[in-house]
Structure 1
């Protein structure tokens, strides 16, 4: 069978399968074909008249069938591109998403202001955010923490494959394993922020991802509020806290940051124009108030 014919049949299958979850059947089919053949998507356009048969055709059809059942493309490929890095993924972590690149971009802007220093990534998962920051700023030391042991194993594997050495990953329930004296110029997190009753939990790739990395108490705000409260203890004066959240959570997250004493509070929009990243800066005067030493 010709490659273009196999792709056409796969697109038809993915566009009309029972669960109706595949929003990008053409892209999905091309990514799976390119993966099986070890070629680029551009190559597929150029050499679509070539034959695919035997083991390769069987592998392709098997992947298409799994995608028909809704299994995420990233799992089928075994990796996901994020901020120019190819990251291994697994069912134990969230699949890195393009909108989270906004968090990295905003963090890099703050890093440029504060110079070299220490960064903390909470709930690091596959290590996507930590590794993107470490790769962009080799003069920074980045620490990624996650409560899931398999996530830490995966993040360390990604760091090794990418040969990124200015990063370390440790098991921890958010701040719990940190030395109380540890301080960071920048703390970032993409924590669980979805309400357990949210209908989106039953749709798309999210159906397959770990609930522990998605759902939080207090209508999805529980972990965000915990991070806002506790991060103050671990930020240096003038340090920044950046948090990813749901597109309808910008207002309460900003309010929580202001109430906790952060300054320069604001929210940035994602690729779709939705409020996605809220941030605040912790000044020395704020630290004195937290410690009860202010006048």
Structure 2
């Protein structure tokens, strides 16, 4: 095949979507991007002062390079690559600088040659090798060398890869995650526009044995149901071996329980009470049982239930989704009030869903679908554009405040991402755009001091926010946004 410029799957609608997103940025999104940009540049100075070379793989400055704005996506983190010989020095520098080894790091972080760190709500993924999905870092040493070979100093004060090696790196990650992240696919399309030497792209891909993955990413299609990143029979053997090493031969439920147990053991609990036996509580008149490690619903969340019920009152058989259901309190209470509702609930924790399932059994309720996964990702695809109400009490407390309170549950159930704690809420609002029907509602709970900024962001995303149910300075408040469509 001739090594000419490939044709990425950059349709007009996709290009317009990226461009439109840039013009609809809310003040909160821009502020978050500028803060992350300032933090990454501060970090660049710390690394430079210590003599540690740093190559930027992800962050606001790379967004600016790809899209012309540092706020193309809402993100409060960066990924950087350091030389393998300086990995220990980099980790020691982070420890001295007040960075915390994040509890989200997997069991085999040393195989990936990567670890996540957090400081003041800012997240850093430190790499001393290049990996993709479950492939260990040693398999992509050639790509790693290419990233360094023509790196140049960027505006952040860190090195940045040339366009050709950056494209291969982005493509490998898209395919490694089996096209599960649309934003990464858009990054590939944007990076392809920067490439000047396509023969070099294919040379890098061929040497790294990822030529098939790059072609698949540019075409925007999986190679098969289980995409293999590395080319050839040896590449497939490595892929299968890595699959076995990471325990993928175990049932998904067993792997999820193991990961969750390890995350809790790493300090996810705010107090010893969280490890006690099952406890009882009352929510909206229902007697519930709450498992160890599952957040116990608060009284204020009943206001969210009431608001969601009122907003869905005109629908004969409303389709309702409770995100981050925990013990199932809100979903079960809604189903109890509206037995004809088609109720769905999601949670990232297998422990929480087992708790919700037990409460469904005890209360003899039916018609509630439970889905394991993050935010709205695990919902059936046939619900897209059909949901009447999405309601959620996702974690929103900023990190520095969450750790000062005894919540009686894992800190991960209350601590939000990004500096202001609203990272998960932003992801919820973005995903809800695809599942809500026109005129559908997003019902949420945040802190009173977050409410005005948050509703401003919702307005920029195409929602019409309501006033809060009841403003309580220093406490949680409940509100909603009606989905009217992007501007």
Query: Structures share a fold, TM > 0.5?
Result: yes
Deviation of residue 178 (structure 1)?
Answer: 2.1
Maintained 8 Å contact 1:246/1:275: yes
- Alpha-carbon separation, structure 2, partners of 1:92 and 1:77: 9
* Counterpart check, 1:201 vs 2:403: yes
Aligned counterpart in structure 2 of residue 191 of structure 1, from 385, 390, 394? 394
* Counterpart check, 1:144 vs 2:333: no
- Alpha-carbon separation, structure 1, partners of 2:368 and 2:389: 14
Structure-1-length-normalised TM-score? 0.67
Deviation of residue 169 (structure 1)?
Answer: 1.3
- Alpha-carbon separation, structure 1, partners of 2:442 and 2:320: 10
Deviation of residue 273 (structure 1)?
Answer: 9.2
Maintained 8 Å contact 2:389/2:442: yes
* Counterpart check, 1:225 vs 2:426: yes
Aligned partner of 2:18 in structure 1 is none
Residues 74-93 of structure 1: pairs in structure 2 closer than 5 A:
78-93=279-294
Change (3 A) 1:134 1:270: farther
Maintained 8 Å contact 1:186/1:239: yes
- Alpha-carbon separation, structure 2, partners of 1:157 and 1:81: 15
Aligned partner of 2:307 in structure 1 is 106
Change (3 A) 1:187 1:228: same
- Alpha-carbon separation, structure 2, partners of 1:227 and 1:190: 11
Deviates most, 273-282 or 105-114: 273-282
Secondary structure in 2 matching 1:269: coil
Aligned partner of 1:169 in structure 2 is 370
Aligned partner of 2:482 in structure 1 is 281
- Alpha-carbon separation, structure 2, partners of 1:102 and 1:273: 17
Maintained 8 Å contact 1:254/1:267: no
Maintained 8 Å contact 1:121/1:187: yes
- Alpha-carbon separation, structure 1, partners of 2:447 and 2:381: 30
Deviation of residue 76 (structure 1)?
Answer: 6.5
Change (3 A) 1:143 1:253: same
Secondary structure in 2 matching 1:116: coil
Aligned partner of 1:124 in structure 2 is 325
Gaps of 5+ in 1: 1-69, 291-295
Maintained 8 Å contact 1:258/1:265: no
- Alpha-carbon separation, structure 1, partners of 2:303 and 2:475: 11
Deviation of residue 265 (structure 1)?
Answer: 3.1
- Alpha-carbon separation, structure 2, partners of 1:280 and 1:255: 10
Cα distance per residue 1:38-66 (max 9 Å; x no partner): xxxxxxxxxxxxxxxxxxxxxxxxxxxxx
- Alpha-carbon separation, structure 2, partners of 1:130 and 1:271: 25
Maintained 8 Å contact 2:295/2:409: yes
Change (3 A) 1:211 1:242: same
- Alpha-carbon separation, structure 2, partners of 1:254 and 1:117: 24
Maintained 8 Å contact 2:273/2:409: no
Could you say which structure has the larger radius of gyration?
2
Deviation of residue 99 (structure 1)?
Answer: 0.6
Structure 1 segments of 4+ aligned residues over 4 angstroms from their partners:
70-73, 270-275
Task: Give the aligned length.
Answer: 214
Cα distance per residue 1:11-57 (max 9 Å; x no partner): xxxxxxxxxxxxxxxxxxxxxxxxxxxxxxxxxxxxxxxxxxxxxxx
- Alpha-carbon separation, structure 1, partners of 2:412 and 2:471: 23
Maintained 8 Å contact 2:347/2:374: yes
Maintained 8 Å contact 2:322/2:390: yes
Secondary structure in 2 matching 1:151: helix
CA RMSD of aligned residues (A): 2.4
Deviation of residue 237 (structure 1)?
Answer: 1.5
Aligned partner of 1:268 in structure 2 is 469
Aligned partner of 1:157 in structure 2 is 358
